[in-house]
């Protein structure tokens, strides 16, 4: 999942217990030279010695999984899964990947279905290496972190990420980047803002060498994102002229409360989820079906429950990858190997749980002021968009970026992936926007080679190829 210029990987979730022990393999001397015995022991406890169904040759790289306590009194912890690069991991940058969605508990989505080094094989309870994704340790030039988004809903928890660096201090001073997709368009800028502000007053021991953010199909602004969904749906021939005219007549997405006529029109859009995958407009649905847990739900659009319901989790791209991954991650031997579920929760793991929706009602309508501030601070900011996504479509992102009012330095132009156009890009003063041609909401899943190329150039701070190669 990585290429020869990419980073290491970490997946983090909210949980309540500390990890159990794992068997250890020898670690390069350079990685441990300055670590104290307690830190080395904690890392060894979290090392994943073997993973059920994984190919035997996959352990040429180190990966770790477990819990890092963030609040002793409340019993809170972060669950993480961290992958080091295969070659010279101490010299590689660190990337934290955040999956999106505001109402679902998708701890494993990015690792198991998009960016992780392992994919679950179809119809076989085994894993295979994922050679086309940016987190593939054998090809990367860095280290990847996957983290669960809900830890950042309470803004103070952004500071708790320091606890992970205390577990792995050898990565503390690496170049650090945050990347993600969808609702990460909200909490990546929020977390980045916390880090930038805290760095201004941090001691050397608490300073994070933070360099930039990369967000795909990003939900950043409620008004423009909703308007873009409607306009894109009409342009892609999903909704009728009559329904589109109703939207234009009755929907003011800047209003705090939408009109009843607008809500009814949005409700008509929801039925499309019985017919197509709105997250990848030209991909088929999974004929095998999706995991059926009583706490799962199907996505909705519109403000009937919340104006952010449109951002609920997609049903997968393979289009059955969610089904494969869910079945695999519910195996007890897999959870033991990952030092997960140490408290023995009585219900099965599910990608989507709407119980979070019941407990959380705090979401900023827009993060554009934060994005503009980060651009002024000189942070590297790239926004990318799969252009066949109907949930946060390219149209929405273009409306949103126009709202920022940033001057254009390099106007709309194609970029290339080998001999083919990979998409289009525009460079603003302080921000780069890139489309990925033919990609859905989860770009690394639907266009892995282009996603890898995009990530490589982002980390290297180089423009994408402007000519075929």
Whole-angstrom distance, CA of residue 320 vs CA of residue 317: 7
Q: Residue 136: which of 106, 120, 108, 114 has the closest Cα?
A: 114
Is 123 among the residues known to form the active site? no
* pLDDT at residue 312, as a whole number: 42
Task: Name residues whose C-beta falls within 8 Å of residue 247's C-beta, 6 or more positions apart in sequence.
Answer: 230, 262, 265
Q: Does the pLDDT of residue 289 top 70, yes or no?
A: no
* pLDDT at residue 138, as a whole number: 39
* pLDDT at residue 137, as a whole number: 42
**Phi, psi (5° rounding) for residue 205?**
-70, -25
The catalytic position among 182, 232, 363, 425 is: 182
Rounded to the nearest 5 degrees, what angle is found at the Cα of 435, between the Cα atoms of 434 and 439?
Answer: 140
CB 34 within 8 A of CB 170: yes
Residue of 436 and 282 predicted with greater confidence:
436
Residues pairing with 180 in the sheet: 98, 215
For residue 446, what pLDDT band results from cuts at 50, 70 and 90? confident
Is 457 among the residues known to form the active site? no
Whole-angstrom distance, CA of residue 81 vs CA of residue 112: 11
Q: Does the pLDDT of residue 101 top 70, yes or no?
A: no
> How is the chain split into domains, by residue range?
1-219+323-469, 222-322
Is 441 among the residues known to form the active site? yes
Q: Does the pLDDT of residue 109 top 90, yes or no?
A: no
Q: Does the pLDDT of residue 292 top 70, yes or no?
A: no
DSSP assignments along 82-98, one per residue: EE--SS-GGGS-EEEEE
Q: Does the pLDDT of residue 113 top 90, yes or no?
A: no
For residue 132, what pLDDT band results from cuts at 50, 70 and 90? low
* pLDDT at residue 84, as a whole number: 87
The catalytic position among 150, 221, 389, 457 is: 389
The catalytic position among 225, 441, 446, 457 is: 441
Q: Residue 48: which of 20, 68, 28, 89 has the closest Cα?
A: 20
What are the tokens at 159?
A: 């500071």
Q: Residue 389: which of 100, 56, 32, 33 has the closest Cα?
A: 100
Q: Write the pLDDT tens digit of every residue in 62-72.
A: 889 988 887 78
Q: Does the pLDDT of residue 301 top 90, yes or no?
A: no
* pLDDT at residue 454, as a whole number: 95
Average predicted confidence (pLDDT) for the chain: 78
Q: Write the pLDDT tens digit of every residue in 354-372.
A: 555 545 556 788 999 999 9
* pLDDT at residue 407, as a whole number: 97
* pLDDT at residue 288, as a whole number: 64
For 1-219+323-469, CATH number? 3.40.50.1820
Q: Write the pLDDT tens digit of every residue in 210-266.
A: 999 999 999 999 999 999 999 999 999 999 999 999 999 999 999 888 999 999 998
Lowest mean pLDDT among 128-132, 384-388, 416-420, 445-449: 128-132
Lowest mean pLDDT among 117-121, 154-158, 313-317, 401-405: 313-317
For residue 442, what pLDDT band results from cuts at 50, 70 and 90? confident
């Amino acid at each position: 999942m990585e290429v020869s210029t990419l980073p290491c990987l970490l997946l983090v979730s909210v949980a309540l217990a500390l990890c159990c022990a794992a068997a250890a393999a020898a670690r390069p001397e350079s990685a441990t030279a300055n670590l104290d015995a307690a830190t080395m022991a904690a890392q060894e406890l979290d090392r994943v010695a073997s993973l059920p169904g994984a190919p035997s040759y996959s352990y040429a790289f180190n990966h770790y999984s477990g819990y890092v306590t963030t609040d002793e009194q409340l019993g809170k912890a972060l669950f993480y899964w961290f992958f080091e690069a295969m070659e010279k991991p101490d010299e590689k940058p660190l990337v934290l990947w955040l999956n999106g969605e505001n109402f679902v508990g998708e701890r494993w989505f990015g690792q198991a279905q998009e960016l992780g080094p392992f994919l679950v094989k179809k119809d076989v309870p085994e894993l295979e290496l994922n050679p086309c994704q940016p987190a593939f340790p054998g090809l990367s030039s860095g280290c990847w972190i996957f983290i669960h988004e809900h830890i950042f809903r309470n803004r103070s928890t952004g500071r708790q990420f320091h606890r992970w660096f205390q577990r792995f201090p050898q990565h503390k001073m690496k170049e650090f980047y945050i990347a993600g997709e969808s609702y990460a368009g909200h909490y990546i800028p929020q977390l980045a803002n916390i880090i930038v502000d805290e760095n201004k007053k941090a001691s050397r021991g608490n300073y994070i060498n933070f360099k930039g953010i990369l967000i795909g199909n990003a939900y950043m602004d409620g008004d423009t994102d909703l308007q873009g969904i409607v306009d894109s749906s009409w342009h892609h021939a999903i909704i009728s002229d009559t329904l589109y005219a109703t939207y234009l007549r009755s929907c003011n997405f800047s209003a705090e409360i939408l009109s009843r006529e607008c809500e009814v029109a949005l409700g008509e859009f929801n039925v499309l989820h019985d017919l197509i995958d709105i997250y990848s407009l030209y991909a088929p649905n999974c004929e095998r079906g999706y995991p059926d847990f009583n706490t799962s739900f199907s996505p909705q659009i519109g403000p009937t429950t919340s104006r952010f319901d449109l951002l609920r989790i997609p049903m997968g791209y393979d289009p059955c990858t969610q089904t494969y991954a869910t079945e695999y991650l519910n195996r007890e031997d897999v959870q033991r190997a990952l030092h997960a579920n140490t408290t023995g929760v009585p219900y099965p793991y599910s990608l989507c749980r709407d119980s979070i929706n019941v407990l959380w009602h705090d979401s900023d309508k827009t993060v554009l002021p934060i994005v503009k501030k980060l651009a002024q601070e000189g942070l590297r900011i790239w926004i990318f968009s799969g252009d066949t996504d109907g949930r946060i479509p390219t149209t929405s992102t273009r409306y949103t970026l126009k709202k920022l009012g940033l001057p254009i330095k390099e106007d709309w132009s194609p970029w290339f992936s080998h001999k083919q156009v990979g998409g289009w890009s525009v460079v603003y003063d302080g921000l780069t926007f890139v489309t990925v041609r033919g990609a859905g909401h989860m770009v690394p899943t639907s266009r892995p080679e282009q996603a890898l190329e995009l990530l490589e150039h982002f980390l290297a701070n180089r423009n994408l190829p402007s000519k075929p190669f």
